[in-house]
Structure 1
Amino acid sequence: MTVLIITHSQDNESIPLVIQAIEAQGGKAFRFDTDRFPTEVQLDVYYAGSERVTLRVDDQTLDLSEVSAVWYRRIAIGAKIPDSMDKQMRQASIQESRVTIQGMIASIQGFHLDPLPNIRRAENKQLQLQVARKLGLDTPRTLTTNNPKAVKQFAEECQQGMITKMLSSFAIYDEQGLEKVVFTNPISSEDLDNLDGLRFCPMTFQEKIPKALELRTIIVGKRVLTAAVDSQALDKARYDWRKQGIALLDAWEAYTLPQDVEDKLLKLMAEFGLNYGAIDIILTPDGRHIFLEVNPVGEFFWLERCPGLPISQAIAEVLQN
């Protein structure tokens, strides 16, 4: 039997890490880069007297009846359809390709890590906070709004200051095509006097939480693997460690969460029907663990190197067992 890995050709080293772990455990893996469909990858879905679904990538062919498990990582369907194509026709082609692949994924009878509907539901950050609060996890005071008056009132509640962040993941590109990721940023008094832009786009505001450490917890099945980093050691990383992610690569250390926090996180995963999640937590100087969010397809690859968490091995085990 075969594990089908759904990703795209620009995905990072987490893919070969998991493939190596699957093969080391005696299994087989088939990589499907969705950005190569429909231009370079062929799919046949045949229903008549019999049923046949086959995927052809280069010189490899996969009969999807042989798939025992699916790892849904990333998706970029139609990315290689030429930009020179008529805009409306290109969009129609991407939409039809997307529906075709979504149907293919939904029809696979094997184990899914994780089912797409579960992932999509879990991506709702507001719902995450609601569920986390219900389970007794400590969460930051949070406001999502397009109302400037509400922001100013909220600022008065946040005695230690506040930060702003986005609910969705996106980047802004400059005229040269360079990516500018939207990070978490502090709100100044000057910002509070310039909130007119909220009428075009809502934003999320949170109280500023003092940080002793920032934690990244990876949950795979019932395994809870956590690493910690001192983001406050670098000025540019104080509000968002990702701003100095490369500089902090070798600074992560293994960390053990209190048992009650682990138990609550596992209940959170069960609430969303997830087998995998990357969870961000702040450890405060007085020892509180503040839940920020869970990313149901979040990154982990750098934690394999330092501090050496066996995440790919855990993923491979869940996919095969």
Structure 2
Amino acid sequence: MNKILIITHTLDNFSIEKVTEYIEKNGCEVIRFDVDLYPIKNKLSTIFQDGEWVSILETENAKHRLDDIAAVWYRRAYNIGNGVKEEMDKKFYGAAMGEIRNTLFGFIESVDAYALGKPGVYRRLDSKEEQLKIAVKLGLKIPETCLTNNPEEARQFILKHQNVVAKMQTGFAIYEDGVESVVFTNVVSEDKLEELDSLVYCPMQFQKKIEKKKELRVTIVGRDVYAFEIDSQQSEDAKVDWRKDGVNLLTKWVKTELPADVEAKLLELLDVYNVDYGAIDIIVSPEDEYYFIEINAAGEFFWLDNLTEDNLISKSIADVLCDKAPRRNNMVMA
């Protein structure tokens, strides 16, 4: 029986169970590696002796060989080393966490099997600048864009385009007094130009604001394309960034069809990156022009999966992992 390794964490959502269900229907076995239990509760070993490499994952419930897995789904790596800080002298904590991360990610990168996602792939797709440059080369439309830490360049861009949004290139939250504040996309008005001086400490991405007829989330798994749209302009909070009212919009997304040329270019984008999963954000203007915004290497899909018949996105992921559907061959080891 082929073994499929899923790398995630204990608080991940139910999409893991849905994909697992389809993997098992395909006649494959699932091994789940929750990284927040590593290294205190999960033990990972890789050994080379007698001319053979052997990798072993030992959890509280079982012991698994990982050197003979058929595929790996690297989904999430949250809260690695949970509990380590409380167990050791604080002067050793930083060094220990460095070893923990290096060992874990070194193992994931070196898996000699098909992988739906790897840390190195995620790091490359973190580059919004590369995404946008590739998109333009493929013929996709993008908004006028400025990435800078130069306040004067930002001011000139804003004054030229008048209607501009500012966004961070990474998804993160600010924590203050135990309260989480997510940084969303926001409109930059001319009365905020003086505040741009702080850019010298932290670069930002600015884009000409595209008026929205609708917004699309396109999830691609292998060659399967799942496109959904929403009229975000019906919600005051969601007009600039639909995530601000994301919870209230979860059930309001509607399945849609992409123009054939746009779909072909998005599939080509995944070909360029040699990945079999991407969650893509698109804005459709009132003139029906499709603007590529970004691709997320591990973007969430569970709420859209619920809107398909029989959780078809989960099924596509399982089929790709079990080699039951076309996939891009990303094995790089000799």
TM-score (norm 2): 0.92
- Given the superposition, is the C-alpha separation of residues 2 and 237 from structure 1 closer, same or farther in structure 2, using an over 3 Å criterion? same
Equivalent pair of 1:215/1:280 in contact (CA under 8 Å):
yes
Deviation of 1:75 after TM superposition, in Å, equals 0.9
Matches within 5 A, 1:1-321: 1-49=2-50, 50-76=52-78, 77-83=80-86, 85-159=88-162, 161-175=163-177, 177-308=178-309, 310-321=312-323
Mean CA deviation greater in 77-86 or 296-305: 77-86
Distance 2:32 2:142 in 1: 38
Equivalent pair of 1:6/1:33 in contact (CA under 8 Å):
yes
Identify unmatched segments of 5+ residues in structure 1.
none
Write out per-residue CA displacement over residues 265-293 of structure 1, whole angstroms, 9 at most, x where no aligned residue. Answer: 11111111111000000011110110000
Identify unmatched segments of 5+ residues in structure 2.
324-334
Distance 1:261 1:135 in 2: 10
Deviation of 1:65 after TM superposition, in Å, equals 2.7
Consecutive aligned runs of 4 or more in structure 1 exceeding 6 Å deviation = none
Write out per-residue CA displacement over residues 249-275 of structure 1, whole angstroms, 9 at most, x where no aligned residue. Answer: 110000110010011111111111111
The one-letter code matched in structure 1 to 2:173 is A
Deviation of 1:90 after TM superposition, in Å, equals 1.1
Deviation of 1:71 after TM superposition, in Å, equals 0.3
Deviation of 1:52 after TM superposition, in Å, equals 2.1
Equivalent pair of 1:227/1:307 in contact (CA under 8 Å):
no
Mean CA deviation greater in 266-275 or 188-197: 188-197
Root-mean-square deviation (CA, aligned residues, Å) is 1.4
Deviation of 1:208 after TM superposition, in Å, equals 0.6
Deviation of 1:26 after TM superposition, in Å, equals 2.2
Deviation of 1:145 after TM superposition, in Å, equals 1.1
Write out per-residue CA displacement over residues 162-206 of structure 1, whole angstroms, 9 at most, x where no aligned residue. Answer: 11000011110120x121110001111221122121121111111
Distance 1:274 1:108 in 2: 16
TM-score (norm 1): 0.95
Deviation of 1:107 after TM superposition, in Å, equals 2.9
Equivalent pair of 2:155/2:196 in contact (CA under 8 Å):
no
Secondary structure of the equivalent of 2:129? helix
Give me the identity figure in percent.
43
Aligned pairs, number: 319
Write out per-residue CA displacement over residues 16-75 of structure 1, whole angstroms, 9 at most, x where no aligned residue. Answer: 121112122222111101111111101222211143211011112211133100001111
Distance 1:169 1:31 in 2: 26
